Amino acid sequence: MPRNAKEWAGVPDLPADHFISSEVYRDEGIFRDEQRLLLEKTWKFACHESEVEQVGDYRTLSFCGLPLVVIRGEDNRIRTFVNVCSHRSAELVRAPRGNARRMVCFFHLWAYDTYGNCVNQTRDIGYEEAGPKKEACGLRSIRTEVNCGLVFITLDDDAETLESFLADSLDTLREALTAEPLELFHYHSFKVRANWKQWHETNMELYHEWGHVVNRQQGLNSPGYHDRRISIGKNGHLSLPPYRVSYSNIPGWEDRDSNNFPGLAPGEIRAVDLFPNTSIIIRGTAMRIDTSTPISPSLTLMEFRGLGLKSDTPEVRAERIRNHNQYWGPFGRTQPEDGFFIESVEQGNRHAAQYSIISRRENLGAHDDAALRGYYAEWSRHMGRPAGDPKGNVSAEGPGK
């Protein structure tokens, strides 16, 4: 039955953690609080270690408004610094990636080594009277740790260790990530006109596979699809149990019988969604890592990586790239559709919707919304407010149950 305006805006007659207020996606104040209370406090995936393989290799990124540079030091350790010169705040490293034993600022040519020390103040005689000495002009260091080849950063100097934050979340991927050196073979990014949480939600929420034409033909029909049980771990991380998929029922596609990642059966899918915004998915022969950078409540930079084994022959690598791109390239069968889904949801949340329903229960099967409820339990823990009522607007009568 259609609902009138009052009914449409009414609080869903559901348990309090079974719906999300649209304010969570559109409110500027909540977005600012997310940066301060959540994103700056947790660990953020920055890159794979193979992207900074050699001493001096660097890549830049931006997070929570901070320009950052990740660089492998002379001691082989990967570090991250705020990418701003200590002198008069010019951007220090100006290329997206490269190699530098010294990072030289293009403005007045101050220079920094790979440890973040200031090693040159041009015509330093000028600082002899008043200072500062170059020893006091190091770059701002950002905590950086590597786990299973994945480089993470946190803006919180007092955050728990990365190992504690990840807990056992990578267990199902550990062999695939570590048995052999991996290598990045694919990177693309785009800005999506949607809230930053939406992409991650879509990765966690397998019910949306009904929206993907190729998944209706393939994954949803695979034996055991609904027999899997999702597991929600510490700190809001989610692990999806492995299952095997046949690809050969798609015209022109082959089954992924060989060259699967270490530890995976042929054609097996494994996936982990790390709170708050990184997903690692393996479809037999190809690995994908998604991560996002929130820009505004309704604009998000998405980054996508594809990885293979460093030992790949050219033929095997070509197969991995082909398999990766079938689903996940910019013209793959599912990734563009995910962008359309969440941009559509953004419009609804911004202009019309009051609540999003996450009430599915299927005994923790693939289409159980427990994944989203677990995510928002963690979100609420950081934010100090429930996702169903983030502004305390719900009347005393509140939700029905």
Q: With contact defined as beta carbons under 8 Å apart, do 44 and 35 qualify?
A: no
**Interaction partner, residue 338 (ligand FES, Fe ion, none; CB < 5-8 Å by kind):** Fe ion
85 binds ligand FES (CB under 6 A): yes
DSSP string covering 209-253, please? Answer: GGG-HHHHHTGGGSTTGGG---EE-GGG-EEEEEEE---TTSTT-
CA distance 115 to 134: 14
187 binds ligand FES (CB under 6 A): no
Q: Which is nearer to ligand FES, 86 or 349 (CB)?
A: 86
105 binds ligand FES (CB under 6 A): yes
**Among residues 14, 66, 90, 146, which is the contact residue for ligand FES, using CB under 6 A?**
90
84 binds ligand FES (CB under 6 A): no
Q: Which is nearer to ligand FES, 87 or 360 (CB)?
A: 87
The residue among 249, 244, 330, 317 whose CA lies nearest residue 286 is 317
Candidates 84-92, 150-158, 203-211, 287-295: pick the segment binding ligand FES (CB under 6 A): 84-92
CA distance 204 to 239: 9
295 binds ligand FES (CB under 6 A): no
The residue among 287, 276, 275, 300 whose CA lies nearest residue 328 is 287
**Interaction partner, residue 110 (Fe ion, ligand FES, none; CB < 5-8 Å by kind):** ligand FES
108 binds ligand FES (CB under 6 A): yes
Q: To the nearest whole angstrom, how small is the minimum distance from the Cβ of residue 92 to ligand FES?
A: 7
Q: Computed from CA positions of residues 2, 199, 287, 227, in that sequence, does the dihedral angle turn out positive or negative?
A: negative
CA distance 101 to 200: 36
**Interaction partner, residue 55 (ligand FES, Fe ion, none; CB < 5-8 Å by kind):** none
The residue among 277, 270, 273, 271 whose CA lies nearest residue 198 is 277
**Interaction partner, residue 87 (Fe ion, ligand FES, none; CB < 5-8 Å by kind):** ligand FES
Candidates 41-49, 55-63, 83-91, 321-329: pick the segment binding ligand FES (CB under 6 A): 83-91
110 binds ligand FES (CB under 6 A): yes
CA distance 362 to 45: 31
**Among residues 38, 41, 107, 120, which is the contact residue for ligand FES, using CB under 6 A?**
107
Q: To the nearest whole angstrom, how small is the minimum distance from the Cβ of residue 155 to ligand FES?
A: 22
Q: Give the x/- contact pattern for Fe ion in 303-342, rule: CB under 5 A.
A: -------------------------------x---x----
88 binds ligand FES (CB under 6 A): yes
102 binds ligand FES (CB under 6 A): no
DSSP string covering 274-311, please? Answer: ETTTEEEEEETTEEEEEEEEEEETTEEEEEEEEEEETT
Q: To the nearest whole angstrom, how small is the minimum distance from the Cβ of residue 136 to Fe ion?
A: 50
**Interaction partner, residue 107 (Fe ion, ligand FES, none; CB < 5-8 Å by kind):** ligand FES
Q: Which is nearer to ligand FES, 84 or 194 (CB)?
A: 84
244 binds ligand FES (CB under 6 A): no
Residue 66 β-bridge partners: 63
DSSP string covering 113-181, please? Answer: ETTS-EEE-TTGGGGTTT---GGG-PPPEEEEEEETTEEEEES-TTSPPHHHHHTTTTGGGHHHHHSS-
Residue 34 sits at the vertex; the CA angle it makes with 397 and 360, to the nearest 5 degrees, is 50
- Residues lying near Fe ion in the complex (CB under 5 A) are found at 334, 338
- Residues lying near ligand FES in the complex (CB under 6 A) are found at 85, 87-88, 90, 105, 107-110
